[in-house]
Structure 1
Amino acid sequence: MVEHDPEQVTIIPPAGPIRVLCLDDEPSVLKVLRRTLGFAGMEVSLFDCGEQALQTLAQQDYEVIISDMRMPEMDGVEFLTKARQIAPQSQRILLSGYADMDSTIAAINEGGIHNFLQKPWQNEALIHVIKDAAEKYRLKQYNSELQTAISSQNEQLKVLNGNLEELVEKRTAQIRTVLRQLETANKREQDEHKATVELLYNFINANPYIDADMAKQIANLSGLIAQKLGLGDKVVQLTKMAGYLAQVGLLAMDPVLYDKPLEQLSSEQRKLFFTHPATAQLMLMPAQHLSDVGEAIYHQFEKYNGQGIPKGLKGKQIPIGAQILAAARDYVENLLKNQGDKETRRGHALEIIKMYSGSFYHPKVVLALEQAIHADMSTTNQVGSMNIINAQALKSGMELGLAIHSHKGIMLLPKGHIFTDATVAKLQQLEMQKPTPFRILIKT
């Protein structure tokens, strides 16, 4: 159990006008920048000399640095490179009226620019880029201050935070390596998502602190809700995959964050816990064909009324996959917490979801959830008639009707697998090591 200092430290996210440093040798450009950014409520410092700008940068903090490319005494590459050394966290934006690819590449490699705009720019685009850059700067600053506060409050959390980044990088690198291997092997079949999802689901299943059966329930229910909403087969499958992988980001975290109920975590631990959807999206990034799945997982804690996280999206702004996942996840979690027989637990769990229809959840999603719950869920994964046999009765060419798992829950063969002589022999060998024969469902 983690002990807590009763004196809590409150960290307030950075606020106030965005601070921007602008460097350009043309007075007319600086005048336009002052007027445009000033009207947008930003604090602007203007310079036509690179050395003076660097001296000021060493004394004051700026969230965004904007520089022209072509200047007589110090060009944009040299200035941004030095600015990066002085204020590495500041976001750097390059302006240029020339289509100079070599200089742009040098600015990216040496100056570490975060964005590039050509002159003449559109004011709306410039303001959008600056606001986005400032948000990234403030988020990094806020996270840094939060980590410092956590470390000073609790020694155990200090150790946790110190190891978390290394743990995330290590486990994310492992999963990315596997995903890249799958991507390479399946370039000709980009629509075959199933192998990727089953592989990651096996990682979840092998973790003793994560309830893989709950993930399976969320996935099946998400697919049924999507069907009831009349979404296409592709969307139904992607939504189901998001249900399977909703918790995959937890694999990159210390088990102390998820081996006990959320209400038993400290406020700092809960903040770290709710970063797992972003970690999941990062893990899935190499698998481009799963981008919609990653998007649904990333936004799974948004609320219909706009009071959720991480972006505070509202209504139709929230991806439909995320809205379905949120309702299915919360229903299954409530179902597993409730007491009583199956029908009683279903009723109580559903009532909780219906209570927040229109605030936390889309009313149409809640209605589809209710319809899905009353559907015959036991037949959703079966097609046609089945025969149940053991491995000794298997023959090459038979089609597997239901996935086969080991006694630890690890998937051995997926549903739909067509047996070959090799897989028959391997399964028969495994069956010889079991105390009881396999029960294998074969399509007829």
Structure 2
Amino acid sequence: MEQLQPAEPVQRPSLLLVDDEASILSSLRRLLRSEPYEVLLAESGARALEILAERPVDLVLSDARMPGMDGAALLARVRQLYPATRRILLTGYADLDTIVKAVNDGQIHQYLSKPWNDEELLLILRQALALQQAERELKRLQQRVLEHNSELKASNANLEKRVAARTAELQQTADMLDLAYEELKHSYVTATEVFSLLANLRLPANKQTNRKLIELVRAYCKSHNLDEAESRDLAMAAALYNIGKLSWSDAMLMAPADLLRHTEQARYRSYPEQSESVLLALEPMQDAARLILHHQERWDGSGFPQRLKGEAIPWGSRLLKLAVDFIELQCGLVLERHLNSDEALLFIRKYAGRLYDPELVEPFIRVCADYLSDVTLEDPTVQMLGTRELHAGMVLRRNLNADNGMLLLNAGKVLSELLVQKLIAFEAMEGAKYSVFVSVPEPANPQTREGG
């Protein structure tokens, strides 16, 4: 069999940067000076189209807000005329309508916000160009396979003795294409995670949920041996479940859901549908988009957006809700008070059968206990008690904080009667109700003590 020839040496990738602000173009050109790219500049959408008509370009990075032809319209035109060119939108505005237009009309491959992080921008450019090169190589191989098949048919006509050999060769080619397709799907997972990290830059560190959510969902998938496709969809859903919130104000993004005003509540309840609509245009994201659409449904049918009930809710959406609520309860995005991990799991256990699939709750808690070092709920020696149930000799297993975040007692503290009484008095003065995680030492064996 004739060996497939390796691809010809790849020329330097060409990048076209489009922005109506000369200072932005200068900053980008300086950033890319040491990179192996041929950099072209255009200060308008019209000039960018002229350059594209004169020569091939591998990637277009365009600002969203420009006079005349905006970024979404330019990238839609690029997609129509030069579909192989990678398209990235750069904007300093959290404008969901612009993003949706760019995704639907221009089918952009990435979205970046101003001000950008240099390392992240360079990483995204490298990944986009690497994926483009992989797609070109795949097309080259596909074309070569088609040509090779035609040669085989012509030379092996009516020769039954070579049927088995040809079948083996075709199977090898099919396996190669399957592998290439799997690599493309893996690239989508990577791209969603990069995008989620960029979107999270809008929030303070203690409100950023996506990375924790991705890791927790992956831990669950690994512990339960979920298949690769299901694990991939859950990871992408965890990365982009809150993309529909990008157009919210900063105040609304950081407010607990329970404290939102009536008008804000209506907007809050629409975010799963907005997240799904942004992602539906991307074929590899459609299963993940369906999980995102239903991740705020509740087991008893009181959720949104479609009030699905019980097993009518997709299984992946039920798991995603558990993970989202567990992380957001600790970030103060559900209740006004930030819960610790044990309190969040107790909340989830309390509402099993109402908000959550009762068959999923305990397996989820066990994964959290195995995966997170600060979860003590599965330790049989640990109890959660009210202040009036405490007594001397008990050992504090978690830091105890006041509702305002002030540290009251450190983990490891052995309680005395005086300390218990002070806690009760402080609780009454603050009008609060504290949950205290303690372990009770086993009583000493009198016979052992006497023998010693």
Report the TM-score range of the alignment, normalised by the length of the smaller protein. Answer: 0.3 to 0.5
Give the alignment's TM-score, normalised by structure 1. 0.42
So what's the TM-score if we normalise by structure 2? 0.42
